[in-house]
Amino acid sequence: MKLKNKIAIITGGAMGNGLGIAKVFLKEGAKVAILDYDDKLTETVQNLNQNNNVLGYKVDIRNMNNVKEAIQDIYDKWGNIDILVNNAGVCKLKPFMEMDDDLRDFHFDINIKGTWNVTKATIPYMKQGSIINLSSVTGPLVADSGEVAYATTKAALIGFTKGLAAELVNQNIRVNAIMPGYIMTPMVSGMAKESNETNPQSVVDGIAKAIPMKRLGTIEELGNLAAFLASDESSYITAQGIVIDGGSTLPETMTMGV
């Protein structure tokens, strides 16, 4: 087990990509503390917890005091922090000229400032280890209409990853980013429903058709990548953004080719 006896914090771990990461981390021997604001947190912790290896904290990562209290409690209970996965994030589609400042700030406050808060609160408790930021292919590589706020925040996380990696390398803390394409998560399901309330599955099917692998990724597949980046197997990798997208950013166009 590549994460045996490691202590991991995962934000937004109650569902979606965070849940997939938590499942794989537990399978690989880690203890997992989940920070999430969703009411599903309690159910997730109950379902995952075996041998007292899962903790859950209902935390709004925009609130630094709440974040600090949770991190301190994790350290007090388990005595160490080896891994931080900044997974929590939001995406609300809206054309740029129709997006008000509140919705813009909702993205910035959670996706950027929330990641900043949790990272800053956690680093003092890390003697060494791995920080993994969930960016996206959206922003750094591609974008669709309505994604300006989301794309901006996810591109910012690549800069955050590189700058932080440069500062922490001498502390034996590696910092990398995962850049997912379409993974089958509640966020994707919600976006599909917003696009077509009567037949959201047709939206998902259309997305899959445009991906070279002809399917969306699973949360466990993303979890496997996170486990690799969290483990000593990736000990010479830092400051990188790793794409996991089934080849969705590969096609030059969707209308040419043989």
Q: Is 75 a catalytic residue?
A: no
Q: Which of 37, 75, 125, 150 is catalytic?
A: 150
Q: Is position 256 within any domain?
A: no
Do residues 191 and 240 both lie within one domain? Answer: no
112, 237: one domain: yes
Domain membership of residue 258 (yes or no) is: no
Domain assignment of residue 2, yes or no:
no
131 plus 198 within the same structural domain: no
Look at residue 144 in the predicted model and tell me its pLDDT: 93
The verdict on 123 and 196 lying in the same domain is no
Write down the pLDDT at residue 255.
54
Same domain? 193 vs 207: yes
pTM above 0.75, yes or no: yes
- Residue 67 sits in a domain of what CATH number? 3.40.50.720
Note whether 51 and 140 are same-domain residues: yes
Structural domain contains residue 1: no
Does residue 201 lie in a domain region? yes
Is residue 50 domain-shared with residue 78, that is, in the same domain?
yes
**Residue 251, in any domain of the structure:** no
Structural domain harbouring 187: 182-216
Looking at the structure, tell me whether residues 189 and 75 fall in a common domain. no
Q: What is the structure's pLDDT at 256?
A: 47
Q: Mapped to the 3 state alphabet, what secondary structure does the chain carry?
A: CCCCCCEEEEECCCCHHHHHHHHHHHHCCCEEEEEECCCCHHHHHHHHCCCCCEEEEECCCCCHHHHHHHHHHHHHHHCCCCEEEECCCCCCCCCHHHCCHHHHHHHHHHHHHHHHHHHHHHHHHCCCEEEEEECCCECCCECCCCCHHHHHHHHHHHHHHHHHHHHHHHHCEEEEEEEECCECCHHHHHHHHHHCCCCHHHHHHHHHHHCCCCCCECHHHHHHHHHHHHCHHHCCCCCCEEEECCCCCCCCCCCCCC
How many domains in the chain?
Answer: 2
Are 195 and 152 within one domain?
no
In a domain, 250, yes or no: no
Based on the fold, state whether residues 100 and 84 are members of the same structural domain. Answer: yes
The answer to whether residues 143 and 41 belong to one domain is yes
Predicted pLDDT of residue 152: 98
Q: 29 in a domain, yes or no?
A: yes
pLDDT in tens, the chain (258 residues): 999 999 999 999 999 999 999 999 999 999 999 999 999 999 999 999 988 999 999 999 999 999 999 999 999 999 999 999 999 999 999 999 999 999 999 999 999 999 999 999 999 999 999 999 999 999 999 999 999 999 999 999 999 999 999 999 999 999 999 999 999 998 888 878 777 888 889 889 999 999 999 999 999 999 999 999 999 999 999 999 999 999 999 987 655 445
Q: Does one domain contain both 20 and 134?
A: yes
* pLDDT number for residue 194: 79
